[in-house]
Amino acid sequence: MSINTPNKQTSHLKREILVRLIRAYLGENYEEDVRLIPYKMRPQGSEVPYRCCIHKERAILRDRVIAGLGFDIEEAEDSQLLSELATKATKREKPEEHPLTLLQTACNECVPARIHVTDLCQGCVARPCESACRFGAIKVQDGKSRIDHEKCKNCGLCAQVCPFQAITKIIVPCENACPVGAIAKDEDGLTKIDHEKCISCGKCVSACPFGAVHKKSQIIDIIKNIKAGKKVIAMIAPSIMGQLPCTPKQLKQAIIDIGFSDVVEVAVGADITTKNEAEEFKERVIEGKAPFMTTSCCAAYNELVAKHVPEIKQYRSTTETPAYYTAEMVKHDQPEAITVFFSPCVAKRREAMQNPNIDYVLNFEELGAWFVALNVQVSDCEESEYNQESSAEARNFAVTGGVAAAVNAMLDESEKAQPYVINGLDKASIRDLKKFAKNGKCELGNLIEVMACPGGCLGGSSTINSYKQATKQLNAYVESSPAIKDVVNTK
Amino acid sequence: MAKVNVKVCLGTTCFVMGSANLQELIELVPRKYGDLVDVAGSPCLGLCSIDWEFSKAPYVKVDDEVIKEATVEKVLAAIDKKLGK
């Protein structure tokens, strides 16, 4: 759950579908049970909570199941049965390339973004809206302000100056949330994701009140490997500590209980990232006099650099991500193992796609659904020790400011970085990044930590726990962990 | 008057299906009602396993009343009712 967002019915729905899907796949009649999911969720004569009729409810649930099966909703044929798609999902060799898909039947009801004058307009004498508009797009006619939409550029200045707050900006939540303009309505009024622009940050997933943006799940692929008796290893992101009502050691046992053969903390890789990034900072900024360096562990930021801000690439650290080092270690020691990265966000799926050492990605919501499906009571699990210890600083990578603080903990007094934290990517912070790159300087600090989600990974779009509670739980774990200098020097 | 007793289920199912976001009740309720209400998180109350009802999680109990698909608002309304507000 993102920072400060209340519980949402859309998350409940999506999780319920995942639970039913997992139960179906682990049960006796997989294909038929998958086909029946929409009917089980909306049985004959049941209430119609959200849509016009039970048929539309079921049609939309069907589409949500398609995403759960890991397919593109837009590309699936309407006539295809869920049972056929369920079979197809088990035959797939690798997951689909783009992690997000749109449920258009659920989303076409949004009014296109525009400025709207409400009935509260008094047609006043001052008419600040008229004078504020730089495009001559608003005029009082017949006692009320009217907008010429041919001229209006949706800047919203008129709304800001109206003394009655009578003018409002109607937004399309996904478009408004997307920091890179990758999701928009086309001429037919249908929303589309432009995968050339999309950085997989997942902000549209959290923003859509209809739950129309779906993540394509890889859960069938993962369970398939476990069912086949393969050695499947969980690599759990630092942000997972604090996601479920149990201790970190109980969590390890719970993950083993559902079929994984081992659990490795990605914080182990974060220790290596920290060490390398600290060395790089010293070399480039302290000794080499580079104006600044940015971190490189947020997958959505890395996609942003590749697709939208290539000019900042020369300032980004060349250090690899914690997931990279962890996966490298696991595959080195056990080349036959299947690796699954447990993720708080969508963006890591893109990173995994580009890294041959990471086979699959499972997000925290999916893990939670898996526990529900199997009735695993995490707080009743035994405690199981992790084979490799990691540091407090590495485990704190999940929180905004944590990466820069870890790097600083590795540096000597005379080499300390001045961190500047981008706490959430949005249009404004992207403009800042472009400015830093263009001017070749950043007055605000010389180590820029970029986190696509406000609050860091704990604020990721696929998390379960509320931010405040998750932070509390994670802090307790961090405080009981050894200092990085003690851990890294002994590795 | 007997105190109203509120139990927020923090079993895995309830937690995943939404009670993670009901934890704020544990701080909010004492602030709002003082000594009139006891509130606590609880290990699994066993309600999710009755008749496959995981989809109605999260559950909260206000005295003997079971609240399905609980939200902060629903729980506060139930407490108000018990207190005769």
Considering the domain delimited by A114-170, tell me its CATH architecture: 2-Layer Sandwich (3.30)
Window 355-394 of A, Cβ < 8 Å to B: 365, 368-369, 371-372, 375-379
Q: What share of chain A is helix, strand, coil (3-state, %, to 5)?
A: 45, 10, 40
Residue spans of the domains in chain A: they are: 9-102+199-217, 114-170, 221-490
Question: Which tokens is A317 given?
Answer: 């650290």
Per-residue pLDDT of chain A (491 residues; tens, 9 = 90+): 445 455 578 899 999 999 999 999 999 999 999 999 999 999 999 888 888 899 999 999 999 999 999 999 989 998 999 999 999 999 998 888 899 999 988 876 777 888 999 999 999 999 999 999 999 999 999 999 999 999 999 899 999 999 999 999 998 999 999 999 999 988 777 889 999 999 999 999 999 989 999 999 999 999 999 999 999 999 999 999 999 999 999 999 999 999 999 999 999 999 999 999 999 999 999 999 999 999 999 999 999 999 999 999 999 999 999 999 999 999 999 999 999 999 999 999 999 999 999 999 999 999 999 999 999 999 999 999 999 999 999 999 999 999 999 999 999 999 999 999 999 999 999 999 999 999 999 999 999 999 999 999 999 999 999 999 999 999 999 999 999 998 987 55
Window 196-215 of A, Cβ < 8 Å to B: none
Question: Which tokens is A333 given?
Answer: 């020691």
3-state secondary structure of A241: coil
Distances (CA, A) of A45 to A39, A60, B52, B53: 11, 17, 19, 18
From CA A459, how far away is CA A465, in angstroms rounded? 9
Residues of A in contact with B73 (CB under 8 A): none
Nearest by CB: B20 against A369, A377, A465: A465
B51: containing domain: 4-82
From CA A332, how far away is CA B62, in angstroms rounded? 54
The 10 Å Cβ neighbour count of residue B65 is 11
A76: contact with B, CB 8 A cutoff: no
Q: What is the ipTM of this complex?
A: 0.93
Report pTM.
0.93
Residues of B in contact with A377 (CB under 8 A): 11-12, 43-44
Residue A468's nearest CA partner among A88, A2, A119 is A2
Nearest by CB: B12 against A7, A16, A244: A244
Residues of A in contact with B13 (CB under 8 A): 371-372, 375
From CA A239, how far away is CA A455, in angstroms rounded? 11
The 10 Å Cβ neighbour count of residue B31 is 7
**Which residues make Cβ contacts (< 8 Å) with residue B34, sequence separation at least 6?**
none
Find, in chain B, the residue whose alpha carbon is nearest to that of A3: B21
3-state secondary structure of A412: coil
Query: Tokens 């390339």 belong to which residue?
Result: A97
Amino acid at A383: E
Residues of B in contact with A6 (CB under 8 A): 21, 72
**Which residues make Cβ contacts (< 8 Å) with residue A177, sequence separation at least 6?**
A203, A204, A206, A207
Can you spell out the DSSP letters for A61-128? Answer: HHHHHHHHTT--TTTS-TT--HHHHHHHHHH-SS--S--EEE-HHHHTTSPPSEEEE-TT----SS-H
From CA A403, how far away is CA A394, in angstroms rounded? 8
Q: Write down the pLDDT at residue A189.
A: 77
**Total structural domains within chain B:** 1
User: CATH no. for residue B47?
Assistant: 3.40.30.10
Q: Write down the pLDDT at residue B52.
A: 61
Q: Write down the pLDDT at residue A105.
A: 83
Beta strands A447-451; A262-265: pairing state = unpaired
Beta strands A213-215; A100-102: pairing state = antiparallel
Q: Has domain A221-490 been given CATH number 3.40.50.1100?
A: no
From CA A463, how far away is CA A373, in angstroms rounded? 18
Cβ atoms of A255 and A233 closer than 8 Å: no
Question: In whole angstroms, how large is the CA radius of gyration of chain B?
Answer: 12
Q: Write down the pLDDT at residue A31.
A: 97
Q: Write down the pLDDT at residue B49.
A: 81
Amino acid at A305: V
User: What is the distance in angstroms between the Cα of B35 and the nearest Cα belonging to chain A?
Assistant: 24
Cβ atoms of A289 and A419 closer than 8 Å: no
From CA A368, how far away is CA B8, in angstroms rounded? 18
Residues of B in contact with A365 (CB under 8 A): 16
Contact check, Cβ <8 Å, A379/B13? no
> How many CB pairs (< 8 A) connect A and B?
64
Contact check, Cβ <8 Å, B54/A466? no
From CA A241, how far away is CA A474, in angstroms rounded? 5
From CA A211, how far away is CA A95, in angstroms rounded? 22
Model pLDDT for residues B22-44, shown as the tens digit of each residue: 999 999 999 999 999 999 999 99
Question: Which tokens is B49 given?
Answer: 């396993």
Q: Write down the pLDDT at residue A491.
A: 52
